[in-house]
A and B are shown apart, each in its own frame.
Chain A
Amino acid sequence: MMFLAVRYLLARRRQTLLTLLGIFFGTAAYIAISGFMLGFRGYFVNQLVNNNAHVHIQPREDFLSDHSLDREFFGRSYDHAFWDPAPSGRKDSAIVENPQSWYRRLAADPRVVAFSPQLTASVIFSNGKATAPATIIGCDPLQQMKVTTIADYIVEGSFTDLAAGGNRVILGDELRKRLGVRMLQNVLVASATNAPLPFKVVGIYRTGNRFTDQGAYGALADIQAVNRTPSQVNEIAVRLEDYLQAAPIASTWSTLSQEKVESWDQLNANIFEVFRLQDAIRYVSIGAILVVAAFGITNVLNMTVMQKRKDIAILRSLGYQSRDIVTLFFSQGLILGVSGAFLGAVFGYLFSRYMQTIPFTGGTMGGRAGGTLIISYDPKIYIQAVVLALLSAIVASLLPARAAGKLTPIEIIRAGAE
């Protein structure tokens, strides 16, 4: 019956084309929008996974409750103080307690590739009259390079130059501009309560993320000295063999200690919520397009069944069975679905290729300098688009086809179909 179905479709070209366009645009839109959204998302997740640590071990966070301060009052926790009003707020620790035990644990864990103790401090940089508050990360440069990709973003100097010690600093490009400083010049670095110390600029990094590029890196011991907190760290950044295992590993570690242990995805949970919302919007909007296209197919097939009642009577009198008639009309919907989905997928792919040439630097979200839109060509997108289009065409064709199959030749002849 495929032969006759094709003839029917070709006989009413305009109707066929309009119906085809519905499926075509639905499929193409799904591929283009999904490619754009997932491309950006993939890039973003890649940045999160590759540029930063997979697990962050940070000082514990305590929330005050009615009995949080009992021990301070009575020296034991089973005597209670009663409050009116009860204390509230947080009583955080500023440092990772007993980092040595963490170092031993991490060094012994085969899932850990590397870890880097860090001290992040808020400081004030100054160069002559130019001053800028910034965050500086003190770290072991060699370990830090194993945990993050910061070394890839060095545009001048080398990240390993920090390892030589002696008050050296690597500045983010934005911070460098604000201070008006060049390589190998000295800048003064001061914490809120301590006198400024001179640091030599031995490198510049540029990630494209404006926020990150307003910071700086120094050797851990140097920053501990600036902060007057020798031997203290306020984060241990950990890189794992398998970043997808970060969340369960972080959850396990958090039960073993008082420190706040979070994986890269737990830390960015709100961003993943936004992604889920994006997915919902994507599915609903494309679903709406395909539902409209499906209604188009149903309408056209219903009309065709009405117009072709005479043909149904002829075919039944020639020995064609009810299921042949169902096949005849169902295959028309299927042909529309398959060709619309195929052409839509091809157009969606070509449009994605075009979108990939559109310049996009990403602004504060971390795009590449001089880059273009990032598009995903994940086969899953194409499979989903084609399956959705085919499903809508199949569902849309079933009712008219079944109705056509139920018509008996004598009903049509009696009704005087001509």
Chain B
Amino acid sequence: MGIVATGVGKSIGKPIVRILGDISLEIRSGEFVALTGRSGSGKSTLLYILSTLDDASEGRVEIDGRDVARMSATEISEIRNERVGFVFQFHYLLAELTALENVLMPARKTGRTEELTSYARELLGRFGLGGKEDRLPRQLSGGEQQRLAIARALVMKPRYLFADEPTGSLDSANSEIVMKLIRESNRNFGTTVIMVTHDLGYAGWADRRIHLVDGRISSTPTST
């Protein structure tokens, strides 16, 4: 179980620009992995390919032993819904829905809203959002919004949590809180975390760091 990438590359645009090349790596279940590198090094692109949001131009990505390229659109949407949680740099919440409704949006897809409502409330309480379930995202602070986004990513109890610069738009105090929540989900629930960050301090919280330079892994993945 885990994610295995073999010879993954990505090219985009006309004329073709190669932004990732020959990436091979394995992320084991329960790991906390940080993808680091400068802007434009291809770390976000790699994250999106590993998480099924983007396609690889070459190579193969396997999630829990299954080749993503061979999956149907329905299977990929099931993986996104049940096995994968996303946290983006910007919170990306639905402005028209309350905090609780935002958290329950993944559950709504499979008709599990009622089943997961108490768990969603529990998550909100744990993330310091207790009593704010009925507030709209605009009525919450930036840090609260990001915590809400993490709660939404975790409500389906996913096996994998993908985070793209989750602290990129937050101040240091809120960044600390968000990072603690991500680490807790990894340690307490065994969620595999793959996080893109250019903050080497937070990268140090991970079990392993993969550093990218110009779309390639610069050295052998290191354990901390």
The reply on A45 being an interface residue by CB < 8 A is no
Q: Please report which residues of chain A, range 310-325, place their CB below 8 angstroms from some CB of chain B when the two chains form the complex.
A: 310-311, 313-322, 324
Total contacts A to B, CB within 8 angstroms?
Answer: 56
Instruction: Assess the A319–B106 pair: CB atoms within 8 A.
Output: yes
Q: Assess the B80–A317 pair: CB atoms within 8 A.
A: yes
The answer to whether B81 and A4 touch across the interface, beta carbons within 8 angstroms, is no
Whether a CB of chain A sits under 8 angstroms from the CB of B134 is no
Q: Is the CB of B92 within 8 A of A310?
A: yes
Is B53 in contact with A321, judged by CB distance below 8 angstroms?
no
Contact check, A413 vs B77: say whether CB atoms are below 8 A apart.
no
Whether the Cβ atoms of B109 and A318 lie closer than 8 Å is yes
Which residues of A have CB within 8 Å of B108?
3
- The minimal Cβ–Cβ distance linking A3 to chain B, given in whole angstroms, is 7
Total interface residues on B, CB under 8 Å, equals 26
Specify which chain B residues have a CB less than 8 angstroms from the CB of A365 in the assembled complex.
none
Q: Is A409 touching B53 in the complex (CB atoms < 8 A)?
A: yes
Given A317-B80, A321-B73, A418 contacting B90 (CB threshold 8 A): yes
Q: Once the chains bind, are B94 and A4 in contact (CB under 8 Å)?
A: yes
B32 interface residue, CB < 8 Å from A?
no
Interface membership of B86, Cβ < 8 A: yes
B54: Cβ under 8 A from any A Cβ: yes
Which residues of chain B are within 8 angstroms of A418 by Cβ–Cβ distance?
A: 90
Cβ of A7 within 8 Å of any chain B Cβ, yes or no, is yes
Partner of A410, one of B53, B80, B81, B109: B53
B64 to chain A, nearest CB (A): 16
Does B78 lie within 8 Å of A319, measured CB to CB?
yes
Name the interface residues of A376-406: CB closer than 8 Å to any CB of B. none
Interface size bracket, A side:
20 to 34
Say whether B90 contacts A319, CB under 8 Å.
no
Contact, CB under 8 Å: A4 / B96: yes
A65 to B23, CA, bound (A): 98
Q: Are A410 and B54 in contact (CB under 8 A)?
A: yes
Chain A residue numbers with a CB within 8 Å of B105 are 314-315, 318
Interface residues of B in 59-87 (CB under 8 A from A): 73-74, 77-82, 86
A319–B109 CB distance below 8 A:
yes
| B92: min CB distance to chain A, Å | 5
Give A3 to B109 CA distance when docked, in angstroms: 11
Chain B hits for A316, CB < 8 A: 53, 80
Distance in angstroms between the alpha carbons of A413 and B87 in the assembled complex: 12
B160 within 8 A of A: no
**Residues of chain A in range 283-332 having any CB-CB distance to chain B below 8 Å:** 310-311, 313-322, 324
Indicate if the CB atoms of B82 and A319 lie closer than 8 Å. Answer: yes
In Å, the complex CA distance between A7 and B106 comes to: 17
| Residue from A315, A320, A324 with most neighbouring chain B CB atoms (10 Å) | A320
Within A248-307, the residues touching B (CB, 8 Å) are: none
> With A3-B108, A413-B48, A413-B88 known to touch, is A314 a contact of B73 (CB < 8 Å)?
no
Contacts of B77 in A (CB 8 A): 319-321
Query: Given the complex, which residues of B lie within 8 Å of A413, measured CB to CB?
Result: 48, 53, 88
* A interface, over-half SS: helix
Query: B1 within 8 Å of A by Cβ?
Result: no
B200 at the A interface (CB under 8 A): no
Q: Which residues of A contact B54 (CB under 8 A)?
A: 410
Per a CB cutoff under 8 Å, which of B79, B90, B95, B109 touches A320? B109
B residues within 8 A CB of A10? 96
Interface membership of B97, Cβ < 8 A = yes
- The interface bits of chain A over 1-45 (1 if a CB of B lies within 8 angstroms of the residue's CB, else 0) are 001100110110000000000000000000000000000000000
Tell which of A311, A315, A317, A409 has the most Cβ of chain B within 10 Å.
Answer: A317
Instruction: Please report the C-alpha to C-alpha distance between residue A254 and residue B80 in the assembled complex, in whole angstroms.
Output: 78
CA distance A298 to B132 in the complex (A): 36
Contacts of B95 in A (CB 8 A): 11, 311
Q: How long is the Cα–Cα vector from A111 to B42 in the complex, in angstroms?
A: 89
> Chain B's nearest CB lies how many Å from the CB of A230?
90
How far does the Cβ of A318 sit from chain B's closest Cβ, in whole Å? 5
Q: A318-B80, A321-B73 are in contact. Are A7 and B97 (CB under 8 A)?
A: yes
Residues of B within 8 A of A317 (CB): 53, 80, 86
Chain A residue contacts of B86, Cβ below 8 A: 317-318
Is the pair B74, A410 in contact by a Cβ cutoff of 8 Å?
A: no
CA distance A96 to B82 in the complex (A): 90
**What chain A residues lie within 8 Å of B152 (beta carbons)?**
318
Type the 1/0 row for B97-115, where 1 means its CB is closer than 8 Å to any CB of A: 1000000011011100000
Chain B residues, Cβ within 8 Å of A7: 96-97
Which residues of chain B have C-beta atoms less than 8 A from A3's C-beta? 108
Q: Please measure, in the bound complex, the distance between the C-alpha atom of A313 and the C-alpha atom of B94, giving whole angstroms.
A: 11
Distance (whole angstroms) from the CB of B76 to the closest CB of chain A: 9
**Distance A311 CA – B92 CA, assembled complex (angstroms):** 7
Q: Is the CB of A314 within 8 A of B48?
A: no
Question: How long is the Cα–Cα vector from A231 to B176 in the complex, in angstroms?
Answer: 116
> Within 8 Å CB of B80, what residues of A?
316-319
The 7 closest A-B pairs by CB, nearest first: A319-B81, A7-B96, A319-B80, A410-B54, A318-B106, A11-B96, A317-B86
Interface CB pairs A-B, < 8 A, 21: A3-B108, A4-B96, A4-B97, A7-B97, A10-B96, A11-B95, A11-B96, A311-B94, A314-B92, A314-B93, A316-B53, A316-B80, A318-B86, A318-B106, A318-B109, A319-B78, A319-B81, A319-B109, A410-B48, A413-B48, A418-B90
